[in-house]
Amino acid sequence: MAFTDGTADFRSDTVTRPTEAMRQAMANAEVGDDVYRDDPTVNALEEKAAAAVGMQRALFTPSGTMANQIGIHLHTRPGDGVICVPSAHVRKYELGSAAAISGTTFLVVESPDGSMTAAALDTALDPNGPYYNIRPGLLTWENTHNASGGTILSPEVMAKGSAIASERGIPVHLDGARIWNAAAGAGVEVEEWSQHATSMMFCFSKGLGAPIGSMLCGTADFIEEARRVRKRLGGGMRQVGVLAAAAAVAFDERDRLVEDHLLARRLGEGIAARHPDAVDLARVQTNMVRVDGAGLPAGAARFKDDLVAAGILVGFAAQDVLRFVTHRDVNAADVDRVLAVLDSA
């Protein structure tokens, strides 16, 4: 449903507002001090999340960034290289946290999307390099891959690449902020990816539509240590069951993500029907649509201005490239409003 003021907000799936069911669950949540592990709502959600991704334990964190950074901190030593694609969220969009908090640097494996081939990883992780090379400490994957438009990482690609890391004793972390979109889009279980990771995180506050919260998942020992690091970073929360309750509602409704994907498809196909070079439909795999201004008559900035005039918000993914994200607070009528703006331009 569009926002009550009539704005259609396609900037991100983080803009959703809690549903009535979420607000009710928050109001009624049974709570305790989670730093003492006394919050039953948090404990139940952590257990449910761990089971759903096929890992031993899980830890509720305020944000995806904190969950990723706890993972990087625990898996690496200062000076280590974190392996990722150039546009990985952990590298480009987390304010240099890995360097600031863990003293790590990045070892970049070139890729047009979130995939890293076995051959490229084999080279990046060459154990016969000179001792003064950066020591690879962690391999990270991102699924779906935000910067390439919500594309789905192939489980086979991840399996092969992770095997190369594991053979060399290098742990694997999966940034699965939108892993439930990947699962819905590919029609497979999250375990298709999580089984190839040492740890993973996913967000309740993205496509799932909760107001806040992420989960870091891994072995029991890893999560025990993660709890200490979370507290060190200021993420020890008290009666946080009020937030976990909303996250639980969002999580239980995750089957609805396919609706967002259908909306993205409707939008992508609608734009492509009018301006075929503006959208690469092969990349519209989940809840994002990238629109290349080079394929529009007057470019991306003009399209954005026209949208704003019609009460529609959208963001830039790159220069002259817009990114539309579908979520539970936009609907088919909002998509059609976007297309109407193109028609009236």
Ligand X SMILES: Cc1ncc(COP(=O)(O)O)c(C=O)c1O
Closest to ligand X by CB, 14 or 24: 14
Q: Name which of 76 and 148 has its Cβ closer to ligand X.
A: 148
Which of the ranges 20-28, 60-68, 120-128, 334-342 carries the binding residues for ligand X, by CB under 6 A? 60-68
CB of residue 180 to ligand X, shortest distance in Å: 13
In this complex, which beta carbon is closest to ligand X, that of residue 297 or of residue 315?
A: 315
Taking residues 193 to 212 in sequence order and writing x for each that binds ligand X by CB under 6 A, - otherwise, the string is ----------x-x-------
Least separation in angstroms between residue 93's CB and ligand X is 7
**What 8-state DSSP symbol labels residue 242?**
H
- Tokens 């959600």, residue located: 45
Tell me which of 41, 65, 115, 194 binds ligand X, using CB under 6 A.
65
Asked if 2 and 333 count as a contact pair (C-beta separation under 8 A), the reply is yes
Helix 179-186 × helix 257-274 angle, to 10°: 70
Q: Which contiguous run of DSSP H or E holds residue 310?
A: none
Are 308 and 2 in contact by the 8 Å Cβ rule? The answer is: no
Question: In the bound complex, what is the minimum distance in angstroms from residue 59's beta carbon to ligand X?
Answer: 14
Q: Give the residue carrying structure tokens 């967000």.
A: 203
Is residue 242 within 8 Å of residue 91, measured between CB atoms?
Answer: no
Span near ligand X by CB under 6 A; candidates 61-69, 105-113, 153-161, 231-239: 61-69
Q: Does 63 bind ligand X (CB under 6 A)?
A: yes
Nearest residue to ligand X on Cβ basis: 64
Which of 19, 97, 214, 326: binder of ligand X (CB under 6 A)?
214
Alpha-carbon distance of 244 to 251, in angstroms, equals 10
Number of residues that bind ligand X (CB under 6 A): 12
Question: From CA 107, how far away is CA 102, in angstroms rounded?
Answer: 15
82, 105 contact by CB (below 8 A):
yes
Helix, coil or strand: residue 60: strand
Q: Would you say how long the chain is, in residues?
A: 345
Candidates 73, 75, 89, 227; binder of ligand X (CB under 6 A) is 89
- Closest by Cα among 74, 327, 296 to 200: 74
Q: Tell me the Ramachandran region of residue 54: left when phi exceeds 0, alpha when psi lies from -120 to 50, beta otherwise.
A: left
Binding mask 256-285 for ligand X (x = CB under 6 A): ------------------------------
Q: Which is nearer to ligand X, 68 or 198 (CB)?
A: 68
Query: Residue 338 is encoded by which pair of tokens?
Result: 């976007």
Question: What token pair was written down for 288?
Answer: 């994002």
Is 11 a binding residue for ligand X by CB under 6 A? The answer is no
Report if residue 148 touches ligand X, rule: CB under 6 A.
Answer: no
Minimum distance of ligand X from residue 178's CB (angstroms): 6
Q: Is 175 in the site for ligand X (CB under 6 A)?
A: yes
Q: Which residues contribute to the site for ligand X (CB under 6 A)?
A: 63-65, 68, 89, 142, 146, 175, 177, 203, 205, 214
